[in-house]
């Protein structure tokens, strides 16, 4: 075996594979998009066979571009879209229904009924999560209740459940291993994150038979071998982790109080809380960041449903600009005295509001509002929503007082947005050189387990910053801007606060 690490980065819209060498440099990459299915309003599905096929194509392409074969790969790492749910036949390995994606809202009514029945406190206490369609438990129940014969087959042990990582492990190992990692398990609403076990009371609540569940392993662990006939040689699978936790590791946020925030279509922010499981009073999520050598590290997580999605909407649907790259120049051209607020609640508001019924709104429009003011409002909304999220973290945990915010994702290329983020949140914003932070986190797990990458301290020492943004906005200006934003949110909430 050679010194290379192959990472499968299975995302919501594409499957990618990246090859890293022993110096942690990227030497090969493959990517293929796959189809998004929307069979009903609010429903989002993927075809598991298409996910598998695109992952295989990406892996073979990455190896070819790196100029190596599978025999040169020391280990595989996997990182994946979280919460997306697959149930498959143990004999054939084929799914009995399409994968229900994390964005899917079909189980909203059933979650609401459970909440009204008073179950959310118990769910939150054991899982750190809320009763929401976002998580896997309600999705599993829907498949078992709506696919003919599924529940009976599940009870007989004929079916297996997994998030995408587990499905890929099953396929790569030829069905020899049914496993997941602690980070993905913690997103199912079935896993007790204090005891690190599947919880019988939660399984009963969601009517999920225990025999369909995977074994839960550490993030750097033995996940079997990819069969030799798949990529050309047997390769150990040594690292598995959900995508947002992978970026936390990729950003080398190994110490309590360190935080990363990923700005893409949506935003996911994780704050490392060490071995302290913080119980949020601000409707943040408590989750497992990672588990290494049997030791669990926890995190507080906040979710902003729309950040870059607002810029995409202005570009693709409204025609305000031709390219996203024009957003910085347009924001600079906006009238500084024209206060326009865009609250991008296209799919509700996330942390700390969790208002699924809120809808997007623009405030402060006048006859002389132009395109630049709309673009600036969309970029400013990134900072404002981040301020709300980080304020909630600061209320929940004293260790969140002096944050340096390590950022990644497509939106961080915008200098204007990152400077406004630093200004309005009052934090130092640190943008890395490496754009492949998520894959790098999974690569470290696999490489460290394989013994060819350094430990956490050595890995963190190699992280390089591209640019650091320091707060420079006058306090009076910041206060006025935040006052306007909070009034805009108050008006947008489905049940406005008094």
User: Which pLDDT tens digit goes with each residue over 307-327?
Assistant: 888 888 889 888 888 888 888
Question: Both 260 and 234 in a single domain?
Answer: no
> Residue 262's beta-bridge partner residues?
268, 408
Q: Is 359 exposed, middle or buried, given 0-12, 13-18 or 19+ CB atoms closer than 10 A?
A: middle
Question: In this structure, what token pair is assigned to residue 474?
Answer: 């006058």
Asked whether residue 447 is assigned to any structural domain, the reply reads no
**What is the residue range of 29's domain?**
4-243
Question: Both 274 and 190 in a single domain?
Answer: no
Q: Can you tell me the distance from the alpha carbon of 80 to that of 362, in angstroms, rounded to the nearest whole number?
A: 34
Do 195 and 231 meet the contact criterion of CB atoms below 8 Å apart? no
Asked whether residue 450 is assigned to any structural domain, the reply reads no
Question: Both 141 and 269 in a single domain?
Answer: no
Asked whether residue 192 is assigned to any structural domain, the reply reads yes
Q: pLDDT tens digits, residue range 132-166?
A: 888 999 999 999 999 999 999 999 999 999 999 99
Q: pLDDT tens digits, residue range 198-254?
A: 999 999 999 999 999 999 999 999 999 999 999 999 999 999 999 999 999 999 999
Mean pLDDT (whole number) for 103-127: 93
Question: Both 273 and 227 in a single domain?
Answer: no
Is residue 449's pLDDT more than 60?
Answer: yes
Question: Both 231 and 310 in a single domain?
Answer: no
Question: Both 271 and 190 in a single domain?
Answer: no
Asked whether residue 456 is assigned to any structural domain, the reply reads no
Asked whether residue 288 is assigned to any structural domain, the reply reads yes
Is residue 496's pLDDT more than 70?
Answer: no
Q: Can you tell me the distance from the alpha carbon of 310 to that of 268, in angstroms, rounded to the nearest whole number?
A: 16
Question: Both 159 and 183 in a single domain?
Answer: yes
Asked whether residue 225 is assigned to any structural domain, the reply reads yes
pLDDT given at position 1: 53
Residue 498 pLDDT level (bands cut at 50, 70, 90): very low
Question: Both 198 and 260 in a single domain?
Answer: no
334: CATH: 3.30.420.40
Share of the chain above pLDDT 70, in %: 99
Q: Can you tell me the distance from the alpha carbon of 249 to that of 246, in angstroms, rounded to the nearest whole number?
A: 5
Do 289 and 298 meet the contact criterion of CB atoms below 8 Å apart? yes
Question: Both 314 and 226 in a single domain?
Answer: no
Q: Which of 243, 268, 303 is the last residue of a domain?
A: 243
Mean pLDDT (whole number) for 20-39: 93
Q: Which of 180, 215, 243 is the last residue of a domain?
A: 243
Residue 50 pLDDT level (bands cut at 50, 70, 90): very high
**Kind plus residue range of the DSSP H or E element containing 214:** none
Asked whether residue 422 is assigned to any structural domain, the reply reads yes
Question: Both 270 and 235 in a single domain?
Answer: no
Share of the chain above pLDDT 90, in %: 81
Question: Both 322 and 228 in a single domain?
Answer: no
Q: Which of 221, 243, 265 is the last residue of a domain?
A: 243
pLDDT given at position 495: 62
Q: Can you tell me the distance from the alpha carbon of 371 to that of 320, in angstroms, rounded to the nearest whole number?
A: 6
Q: Can you tell me the distance from the alpha carbon of 498 to that of 495, in angstroms, rounded to the nearest whole number?
A: 9
Mean pLDDT (whole number) for 403-417: 91
pLDDT given at position 231: 95
Asked whether residue 451 is assigned to any structural domain, the reply reads no
Total domain count for the chain? 2
Question: Both 13 and 148 in a single domain?
Answer: yes
């Amino acid at each position: 075996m050679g010194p290379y690490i192959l990472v499968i980065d299975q995302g919501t819209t594409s499957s990618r594979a990246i090859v890293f060498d022993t110096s942690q440099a990227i030497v090969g990459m493959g990517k293929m998009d796959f189809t998004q299915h929307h069979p009903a309003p609010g429903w989002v599905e993927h075809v598991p066979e298409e996910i598998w096929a695109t992952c295989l194509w990406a892996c073979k392409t990455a190896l070819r571009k790196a100029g190596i074969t599978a025999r040169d790969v020391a280990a595989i790492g996997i990182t994946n879209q979280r919460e997306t749910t697959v149930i498959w036949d143990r004999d054939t390995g084929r799914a009995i229904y399409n994968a229900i994606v994390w964005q899917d809202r079909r189980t909203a009514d059933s979650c609401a009924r459970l909440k009204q029945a008073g179950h959310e406190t118990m769910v939150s206490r054991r899982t750190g999560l809320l009763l929401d369609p976002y998580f896997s438990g309600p999705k599993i129940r829907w498949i078992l209740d709506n696919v003919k014969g599924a529940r009976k087959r599940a009870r007989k042990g004929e079916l297996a459940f997994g998030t995408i990582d587990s499905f890929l492990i099953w396929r790569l190992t030829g069905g020899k291993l049914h496993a997941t990692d602690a980070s993905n398990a913690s997103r199912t609403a079935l896993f007790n994150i204090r005891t690190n076990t599947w919880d019988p009371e939660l399984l009963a609540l969601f009517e999920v038979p225990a025999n369909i569940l995977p074994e839960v392993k550490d993030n750097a662990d033995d996940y079997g071998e990819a069969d030799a006939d798949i990529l050309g040689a047997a390769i150990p699978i040594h690292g598995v982790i959900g995508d947002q936790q992978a970026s936390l590791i990729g950003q080398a946020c190994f110490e309590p109080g360190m935080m990363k925030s990923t700005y893409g279509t949506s935003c996911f922010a994780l704050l490392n809380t060490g071995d302290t499981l913080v119980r949020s009073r601000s409707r943040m999520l408590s989750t497992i960041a990672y588990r290494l050598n049997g030791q669990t590290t926890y995190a507080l997580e906040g979710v902003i449903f729309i950040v870059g999605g607002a810029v995409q909407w202005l570009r693709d649907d409204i025609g305000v600009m031709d390219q996203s790259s024009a957003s910085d120049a347009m924001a600079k051209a906006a009238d500084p005295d024209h206060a326009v607020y865009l609250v991008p609640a296209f799919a509700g508001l996330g942390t700390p509001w969790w208002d699924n019924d809120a809808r997007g709104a623009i405030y402060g429009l006048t006859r002389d509002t132009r395109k630049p003011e709309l673009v600036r409002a969309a970029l400013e909304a990134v900072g404002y929503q981040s301020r709300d999220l980080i304020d909630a973290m600061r209320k929940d945990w004293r260790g969140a007082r002096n944050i340096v915010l390590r950022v990644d994702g497509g939106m961080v290329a915008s200098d204007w947005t990152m400077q406004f983020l630093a200004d309005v949140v009052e934090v130092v914003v640190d943008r890395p050189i490496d754009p492949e932070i998520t894959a790098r986190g999974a690569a470290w797990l696999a490489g460290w387990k394989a013994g060819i990458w350094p430990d956490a301290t050595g890995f963190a020492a190699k992280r390089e910053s591209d640019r650091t943004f320091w707060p420079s906005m006058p306090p009076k200006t910041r206060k006025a801007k935040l006052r306007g934003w909070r009034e805009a949110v108050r008006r947008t909430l489905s049940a406005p606060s008094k």
